[in-house]
Chains A and B, each alone.
Chain A
Amino acid sequence: MNRKMRGRGMASSWYGIARTATIDRAGAWAELDDGGTAKIVTGVTEIGEGILTVLAQVAAEELGVRPEDVTIGDNDTSRSPEAAHAGATRQTYMIGNSVALASRDARAKLFAEIADHWDVPVDSLRAFNGELWAQDTNLRMSMDEAVKTCKGRGVVPVGSASFTAHGTGLDPVDGSGSPWQAYVFGTQIAEVEVDTWTGEVQVLGVWAAHDVGRAINPRGVEGQIEGGVVQGLGQALMEDYQTENGYTTTHGFAKYILPTSLDIPQINCTIVEDPDPLSPLQAKGIGEPALVPTAPAIMNAIYDAIGVRIKSLPATPEKILDALRNHVPGREQIAQSARQDRAEAHRRGL
């Protein structure tokens, strides 16, 4: 065996969107504001994934303004409608749809006034990027003017909405039930190089294909995939929180090893869009699913490279060296013996 061995492995995955085995819900308020700007108030929790920008895009699209014109703040239980937590890959789905619906509600108030003002049918109105117009006419105004006109007629264009995802509980005996209304699927391939002298594994490439329903911000989706892959890589190869009889022995980053810039494979993302038919935005989510297939893809790649199957994470250099020394026969031999057993049983007429 050469010192440096390379191989590839793949793994697939699936994941449910929004809270599990329950009815999930989220509320939002929207207002078209002076200057053709917009205010969105919802109990959203930006934890770094970029949800505020996603919601600003959704509101801008629905209200006819630009994302940078949208003011959106973080969660405050005394000031915002309930939209619950940052978790369960739920915010784009739950709050995104809630903001879309609230924005439509606000827009409908504005459109009703402008349609009356221009004396055109309301369904001829369109708004995008700070402009409002009536199709097949020369009638056009800025959103700034539109809000002024609407307010001049005594109407503040505000809207609200609640979005629901219908999950059901699981049967306590057989677990049957419909825990989510939307599912996503993913597949990743990892390419590794194993140093058979040191046991060190380097991941050189990852190809990640994930269904997200509809990518509202493709760069943001990539960011989630890249971050998920690297957390998966950390868990696959190095991270290990340890206790000894209950006492923590990895109490800082000197002992708890995290991936750094030198550990990062080239990550090649492919975004697959299978629109969700049950929600107005048709988007699903990506936060958690991105991490699921990484570790098994890496373990499958290590096997491909050196014929060693690591079944206990993380695949540290010590484990790899140990497994190389005590080489366990691969599945091929097991399958052959299964075939022989079966043939034997057949002969005996069993």
Chain B
Amino acid sequence: MPKIDLTMDVNGRKVVKQTDPHKRLLDFLREDLNLTGTKEGCGAGECGTCSVFVDGKLVKSCLMPAAKADGAKIETIEGLARPGSLTPVQQAFHKTGASQCGYCIPGMVMAATSALRENPDAGIEEIKERLGGNICRCTGYTKIFEAVEIARDVIAGRLPETALDEDATGESFIGANVRRLDAPSKVSGRLKYAADIKMVDMLQMQVLRAPMPHARIVSIDTSEAEAMDGVACVITADDVPGTDGFGVFVHDQPVMARGKVRHFGEAVAAVAAEDLVTARRALAKIKVEYEELPGVYAPEDALKPGAPVIHDYAQDNVIKHIPIRKGDPEKGFAEADLILEDVFTTQQVEHAYLEPEAGIAYVDHDDVVTVLSPSQNITHHRHMLAEILALPINKVRFIMSAVGGGFGGKEDMIYQGMLALAAMKTHRPVQLNFTREESIVASAKRHPSKVHYKMGLKWSGEITAIEFDMLSDGGAYGMSSEGVMRKAAILSCGPYEVKNLKVDTKVVYTNNTPSGAFRTFGGMQAQFATESMMDMAAEALDMDPFELRRINMMRIGSRTHTQQELTTASLDRVLDAAEAASRWEAGAPKVRGPRRGDLGGPDTRQPCTLGARIGEPTVTPTNDERVAS
């Protein structure tokens, strides 16, 4: 394909370059100019990590063809301040702790800069709206809002420049608001994540993924792909030299599908080629013959007799069952004045870290197979990869690259094995960067769960017994399922001392996207059920919800659900603190919202109507005539 000539002013310097016509402005900046502060979080205009200025206007560079920016004046995160210095917006982000993983931050700084350039006096509501196209998965946005307001006031001279300085430290660094050491590199776009790193002679990998959720692999023919110009290697399960299998508790997942695929999007083969386009083309030349198998898509179905078996070792499809027993639940329920029973369900949740999976593998001068990736658990990955590659453990090295968000989703070794195999086969560095779509189909999710709950209470509020039965969908592979069930069981009945209980948590295989570790590891699913039940009980008992919790809360000396004696317990203090801070008006939870006197205080925000904040509304305000019935 013929190249195109582009001329731009980028960060104040004239750039004249030839490039490929398919490139987006984002690719041109990142690949041709090495301006990797601009990130690709989604490639579809949905996240804002790729935000830059084109002729002074904030633009999502993943949506703009590079050719369209010909002749334009481009400003990227790298161009906002001179090297070694930071703009007031960047300094304010540093001061308030507005950057966590940092992956959204360059885009966020661009959006904030744009907001204040467009309206130096923007109020908080307008700032929020102007940041509305930029997703941050880490911070909860609150410190970002704070940063933009401080920067606005410093720029306008309403606050002195010292407002951007670090808070003073007293007599100890423990308890001090020391600014994050990594923030300057994040707010300036200087921090390199795995996808931002280039090595000499590096190949690009692409992965062929299963087009169906459950199938036997009859054959894989890679010959045509291998014969293509620019293809360095094609790998499949046959290339694994050692014991194939990874997972946090059970090593049931092969590096690439071995004999059968168990979920939609599972890796089946991978290509390493001179460039991304060649690697993508080669995928289309790999011929895989599948024989579709009946699948299981609901955990209840997985337990039915005769259900399709997903892993041979688990003929009943059960990954793990954790029982907890304490006291005599039957007796406890017999003593109860009130018994409540209900069912609670939670959904599958995507981690949605802004940085999609990415990594590089190479074999170093000491023959050490080295993988650089944003993994949350390289200690364990090294153990597993050494087994998979049949290498001594010191011949496998994992290096953590900057992690653009994890939340548990980067604990599973779902791609590092493929990179290592390709590096060993080619003796060249190999890089794989997931697209957002790939990240969503291939990475683990929060376990969806269903809890059958039975709680017995006395009129006094004392819980006499609980029966808690959770069934979770583990999806196609075990990953962290066992641990998630254990934690869900241990925490199940909440921070309350319950004398009699019967708890069961069970997780099964299905042909759905695997479930794995996700911030709280089963704890939120279980306690969502418990805390809903507690309020339902408080209503039934005509009791304030704080009071009911105080009656039952764990104290020093309490025995937990697993019969551990607590030597410390702070729920009493925490309840007092929350009640006081929120100016809670006591009363039973009997739909008293309309009568409450504690609503709408200065510690709440205003409800929002889209488009009503910026002087010129871009969206028609919600029409009050619209009746949904």
Contacts and interface: CB of A to CB of B under 8 A. Distances in A.
A256 B537 CA distance: 34
Contacts of B569: 183, 185
A250 B440 contact: yes
B581 A267 contact: no
A186 interface: yes
Contacts of A189: 578, 582, 584
A264 interface: yes
Closest 7 CB pairs of A and B: A246-B213, A48-B101, A7-B593, A175-B324, A226-B140, A335-B540, A296-B531
Interface in B516-544: 517, 519-521, 523-524, 527-528, 530-532, 534-537, 539-542
Given A239-B349, A261-B134, A311 B440 contact: no
User: Interface size for chain B: under 10, 10 to 19, 20 to 34, or 35 or more residues?
Assistant: 35 or more
A6 B599 CA distance: 8
B562 A12 contact: no
Contact of B519 (A186, A225, A281, A287): A287
Interface stretch (B3-11, B152-160, B178-186, B198-206): B178-186
Given A184-B570, A209-B574, A243-B512, A264 B176 contact: no
Nearest to B535: A300
A76 B169 CA distance: 32
B377 interface: yes
Q: Main secondary structure on chain B at its contact with chain A?
A: loop
Contacts of A129: 169
A106 interface: no
Contact of A331 (B131, B347, B539, B627): B539
A87 B83 CA distance: 35
Interface string A7-32: 11111111110001100000000000
B263 to A, nearest CB: 7
A53 interface: yes
Given A253-B47, A292-B523, A10 B397 contact: no
Nearest to A298: B528
24 contacts: A8-B593, A9-B589, A14-B495, A14-B571, A21-B490, A43-B379, A45-B375, A45-B403, A82-B379, A193-B607, A202-B607, A209-B575, A220-B97, A222-B142, A231-B519, A243-B297, A261-B134, A261-B141, A262-B128, A296-B527, A304-B591, A304-B592, A321-B628, A332-B539
A277 B141 CA distance: 34
Contact of A209 (B47, B394, B577): B577
B376 A53 contact: no
A261 B367 CA distance: 48
B325 A173 contact: yes
Contacts of B622: 198
A142 B422 CA distance: 52
B180 A187 contact: no
Interface string B69-113: 000000000000000000000000000110011110000000000
A270 B578 contact: yes
B213 A245 contact: yes
Interface stretch (B220-228, B250-258, B279-287, B336-344): B336-344
Interface stretch (B230-238, B270-278, B406-414): B406-414
Interface in A314-350: 314, 321, 325, 330-332, 334-335, 338, 342
Contact of B397 (A76, A243, A274): A76
B129 interface: yes
B589 A312 contact: no
Interface stretch (B24-32, B426-434, B481-489): B481-489
Given A175-B323, A217-B176, A232-B524, A223 B562 contact: no
B502 to A, nearest CB: 10
B391 interface: no
Contacts of A332: 539-540, 542, 590
